[in-house]
Structure 1
Amino acid sequence: MEHIEKTIEVEAPVNKVYNQWTQFEDFPEFMEGVEEVRQLDDKHLHWVAEIGGKKKEWDAEIYEQVPDQKVAWRSITGARNAGMVEFIPQESNLTRVILKMDYEPQGAVEKTGDVLGAVSRRVEGDLERFKHFIQSRRLETGAWRGEIHDEKNQS
């Protein structure tokens, strides 16, 4: 598995930034190569994306979600990936977003792209586009304020 960690500062309050991030079906608006994200229920998403010139589909499970703090996921079918996005208030109108992601490149094209830093640049660009997406709106496109906790790690 490969690992990426990227950070960006967004000029918006933490609740607005978090609320927008929970609108997963809007991801194609700012994520390069993402064609569709369909929310199946509170915890499950179906992704369709172009990666390395090939169409890929996978399902992901949100296993940890705390309003204004974090969203963590892992794939349960298809392309192996997992990660977490943290939201850290800096000032009343500034939020630090930290994205940590683990993924497994498949095939020669993806492995070569990974060596050349393509995935890292793509994630960095996605965060920049997210920043502009949320900063250009008076209001976020929606919000989900529920919590999800990993039952596998509960006592």
Structure 2
Amino acid sequence: METVEESIDVAVPVRVAYDQWTQFESFPQFMSGVESVTQLTDTTNHWKTKIGGVEREFDTEIVEQRPDERIAWRSVDGKSHAGVVTFDPADANNTRVSVRFEWDPETFTEKVGAALNIDNAQVKADLRKFKDFIESRGTETGAWRGEVDDTGPAGTQL
């Protein structure tokens, strides 16, 4: 299992940064390799990715969501990946966005990328793209302010 952790400061209020992150279908605008994200329900998304020539489709579920604080997810199969993004207000107009995710590289290309820390570099680059995206707009493209709390036995603690 590989773990990637990156953070970035964005010059928008925490509510704006959080609200934009809840707009999963906008992810292809700032995440390399993400072809599309389709929100199936309030807590389930279908992803199509193409990274290093490897195409994948998978579903994720939101297991915890607290407005302006954090969003945690895992793959529906429960094993290929899981993660959390947190939002910490630095002040009224600045937010630290931190991403931590764990995933299981399967192909040779994915294993090489993990060994060379290409994954960390990619997450860092995608966070810079998120920063540019949200700061250039100055406002979110939408918002979902609901809460999710999966504290049952299948819950993910990140």
Query: Normalization by structure 1: what TM-score?
Result: 0.95
SS of the counterpart of 2:149?
Answer: coil
Unaligned runs of 5+ in 1: none
Structure 1 runs (4+) greater than 6 angstroms displaced: none
Counterpart of 2:28 in structure 1 is 28
Counterpart of 1:146 in structure 2 is 146
RMSD over aligned CA atoms reads: 1.5
Q: CA deviation at 1:107?
A: 1.6
Q: CA deviation at 1:65?
A: 0.2
Q: Distance in 2 between matches of 1:32 and 1:82?
A: 18
State the Cα deviation string for residues 9-43 of structure 1 (Å, max 9, x = none): 00000000000000000000000010000000000
Amino acid paired to 2:70? K
Counterpart of 1:100 in structure 2 is 100
Q: Distance in 2 between matches of 1:125 and 1:133?
A: 12
1:1-155 to 2 correspondence within 5 Å?
A: 1-77=1-77, 80-152=80-152
Q: Distance in 2 between matches of 1:59 and 1:78?
A: 10
Unaligned runs of 5+ in 2: none
SS of the counterpart of 2:4?
Answer: strand
Q: CA deviation at 1:76?
A: 0.9
Q: Distance in 2 between matches of 1:110 and 1:78?
A: 19
Q: Distance in 2 between matches of 1:33 and 1:74?
A: 18
Q: Does the 8 A contact of 2:84 with 2:101 survive in 1? A: yes
Range that drifts further, 58-67 or 116-125 = 116-125
Amino acid paired to 1:33? G
SS of the counterpart of 2:64?
Answer: strand
Q: CA deviation at 1:78?
A: 9.1
Query: Normalization by structure 2: what TM-score?
Result: 0.93
